[in-house]
Structure 1
């Protein structure tokens, strides 16, 4: 956003930040109550709108909980779905009925991890606990959902766009002021270079620590990209020329990876985060393909491409998504694992 526009929008940002500050104060002062539940709640969220890597970090946390012998579930809002209320994700659900990220989690864990969606996390938790034998629930993107009190709050911030350099909406992309970081139990700086110098880590940690409580750890993570996975019955990519299709907040890291892996992006069809693709848009993307080329996309976007109308357009077209995993730098994985273990304490129900 141009600096002049940012300056002009700052008064609106201050107003919005003030409203959010009053709301947070009411919760902090106990005038509004946050529910507690009989199982630990692990919240993974951010201060910024989109693009911090919540989905792969939620998956990392769930896998770690499974390794610890726990029985986790995932509760999400289900952003972008066309349904309302509580819904337990089923094999027949699509991105339209539950949202792209919940459907991705459901497929990633092969139905072994219950995944539910609900706008009101408190209602969602009560419903989820009625029907499932669970020992822990991971709250996806619930950092601002103050009606629920998390046992452990994991705050994500992107390396290229840290919250301490951003402004509140509409001048920036923050959902609340930087002071909101004080609620975090751990901060993870995401999408870092795999070899981040120690001096830079210390500088980033010092900036973040201005807003967090004393002693809150700051960890660093990077993305690991896997081999392209076929969507449907596509064979292996026939050439390095690709048409990139994205509907995510920050496609730049994927573009950088593809270039480093030897792929040549002939065309990039970039849409907004959670964009609902139309058949006409997908037809236009397919028209950019040349003989031997493939469409590459993200796993989250592939969830939305599964709609029957889009599948008809893509029939016979080679489409692949690039999977992502999280890798923590230095001892970040063991430190976060220790925090997960420490979260298993009896919780009173409110």
Structure 2
């Protein structure tokens, strides 16, 4: 039995607190700010690990030619305060790793903003930057903004309906929070899911009349991206890899690495981890001790998000690579049409 189940009495207290808070929002005792542009909220019920970033980037790709798109997040882990817009001089400690990832991918084709006060940030984006659509990053529990469209993500291997509230589990609010979602996406699915499994998951989620269910899987790129060069998949089988991760759930990436590279040594750190100098030195030592020529027979590999925090480290930056990921959604045309219709009609 998972030792965290012994914390269930404390989860009961957590349930009371979050339920009262949600009730106050539901009955209007606490007000949510509404805005006159489309606002799409992407989040989850659990603490991290559902793949928000690639799903937000999918939405950016879908919408960026339709209207002026802005992403708005808290900027977790940044050392600054207040409202900031990402630009070419922004550093990861200014805006956080995920906004930095969005900026590295899309540059100035969209607006990428961070602000602790999401309502203030949204108003600023509308009034001063003429944003026409806002994508809220990880704001499902941030009910200070009334989003027009809510997308809830849940991990195929750790679905919310099998989880418990903090601290006994990883849920940030009770399972009933799923009712606020317009679309539910089961993420990180295997390549093939049987029709029976589809039906089983749908039955457990118990979709409401206004809700739609989709399934997505992670798609890994065919090349690794580095500062000095890229590494094509053709050569991967000969590479020894030091895999460095600071993300919530690593199982899928580790499995992929072990299937595609000669040898993998995984150095695992907490989500959004800020690496100390001693940790960088340790990573480099393990890399030095690995057999082979640098960047030919061995590399340091990380995620795109972790790369944002590691790419300035002079000791390892020339030997550091990340693998881009994207998502593939079942019934993509229906999903795209649903999003485009909401954005187009609001």
Secondary structure of the residue that 1:110 maps to in structure 2? helix
Q: Within 1, Cα distance between the matches of 2:117 and 2:130?
A: 21
Post-superposition Cα deviations, 1:118-159, rounded to whole Å, max 9, x if no partner, equal 111101101111222322110010100101011110000000
Compared with structure 1, are the counterparts of its residues 131 and 265 closer, same or farther at alpha carbon in structure 2 (3 Å cutoff)? farther
Q: Within 2, Cα distance between the matches of 1:301 and 1:85?
A: 23
Unaligned runs of 5+ in 1: none
Residue matched to 1:55: 53
Secondary structure of the residue that 1:344 maps to in structure 2? helix
How far 1:215 sits from its partner (Å)? 4.2
Q: Within 1, Cα distance between the matches of 2:276 and 2:76?
A: 18
Compared with structure 1, are the counterparts of its residues 282 and 217 closer, same or farther at alpha carbon in structure 2 (3 Å cutoff)? same
Equivalent residue runs for 1:261-300 within 5 Å: 262-289=260-287, 290=290, 291=292, 292-300=297-305
Q: Within 2, Cα distance between the matches of 1:135 and 1:71?
A: 5
Equivalent residues of 1:279, 1:313 under 8 A apart: no
Residue matched to 1:91: 88
Secondary structure of the residue that 1:277 maps to in structure 2? coil
Q: Within 2, Cα distance between the matches of 1:43 and 1:7?
A: 31
Secondary structure of the residue that 1:295 maps to in structure 2? strand
Residue matched to 1:339: 338
1:223 pairs with 2:218: yes
Equivalent residues of 2:41, 2:139 under 8 A apart: yes
1:198 pairs with 2:195: yes
Q: Within 1, Cα distance between the matches of 2:85 and 2:46?
A: 27
Compared with structure 1, are the counterparts of its residues 133 and 233 closer, same or farther at alpha carbon in structure 2 (3 Å cutoff)? same
How far 1:268 sits from its partner (Å)? 0.7
Equivalent residues of 1:56, 1:324 under 8 A apart: yes
After superposition, the CA RMSD in angstroms is: 1.6
Secondary structure of the residue that 1:11 maps to in structure 2? helix
State which of 11, 26, 29 in structure 2 corresponds to 1:31.
29
1:258 pairs with 2:260: no
Residue matched to 1:106: 103
Secondary structure of the residue that 2:265 maps to in structure 1? strand
Q: Within 2, Cα distance between the matches of 1:345 and 1:17?
A: 37
User: How many residues were matched structurally?
Assistant: 335
Residue matched to 2:309: 304
Equivalent residues of 1:33, 1:147 under 8 A apart: yes
Equivalent residues of 2:258, 2:264 under 8 A apart: no
Residue matched to 1:214: 209
Q: TM-score when scaled to structure 1? A: 0.92
